Amino acid sequence: MKRYPHPVVAREGWHYLAVMTGASALVTWAVGWAFAIPFWITTLFVLQFFRDPAREIPENPDAVLSPADGRIVAVEKVVDPYLDRESVKVSVFMNVFNVHSNRSPVDGEVKKIWYFPGKFVNADLDKASLENERNAVWIRTDEGIDVTSVQVAGLIARRILCYVKEGQKVSRGQRYGFIRFGSRVDVYLPPESRILVGIGDKVYATESILAELK
């Protein structure tokens, strides 16, 4: 089995975890366990938030994989605002207890990346897709099919991290970004795609299939 190329606890959280662990230990040493319990609970929350487990990649070559853990909050026909085309949007909402590492939904080449500063309204709301801070990645598959994956900041998210660049090749399930503290990811697909999820479904990054490309 190929070794997972990322730490089980995401590097994005190492600073927060170190600070909280140090603070918890200091309070425990200074005033005892009773007063330190809230600090250790917060440390455990930070640890679970920044976990980044390895995932099995489905073998189906036509599959569009979920780019994030969470719950499906939208499946609708819309105009892709980035490529100006008819599309189906599938949105995954991540709460603070979900893994926040983002993975590429398809194999292909990154054609363009757009970043937009914006608001920080609740990412569970549909208007967040176009009003919140967001980072959109346009990926073209080897078959020439366009997929747009958009990281959207949430109510308390204040940092969208994207690690891919234009012209870069990406693989399904490849880690390409991270969003800190609650958010959503929108995936814009060709209208003829076969959608395999519905609103309310729980999905897991890489392992869950959102749709099949035709």
Sign of the Cα torsion 44, 49, 51, 53 reads positive
Q: Is 66 a catalytic residue?
A: no
Q: Which residues of 160-190 are buried (b: 16+ CB within 10 A; e: fewer)?
A: bbbebeeeeebebbbbbbbbbbbbbbbbbbb
Q: Choose, from 104, 129, 149, 183, the residue flagged as catalytic.
A: 183
Query: Which of 159, 177, 166, 163 has its CA nearest to residue 138?
Result: 166
Secondary structure of 86-151 in HEC code, one letter for each residue: EEEEEEEEECCCCCCEEECCCCEEEEEEEEECCECCCCCCCCHHHHECEEEEEEECCCCCEEEEEE
Catalytic residues: 183
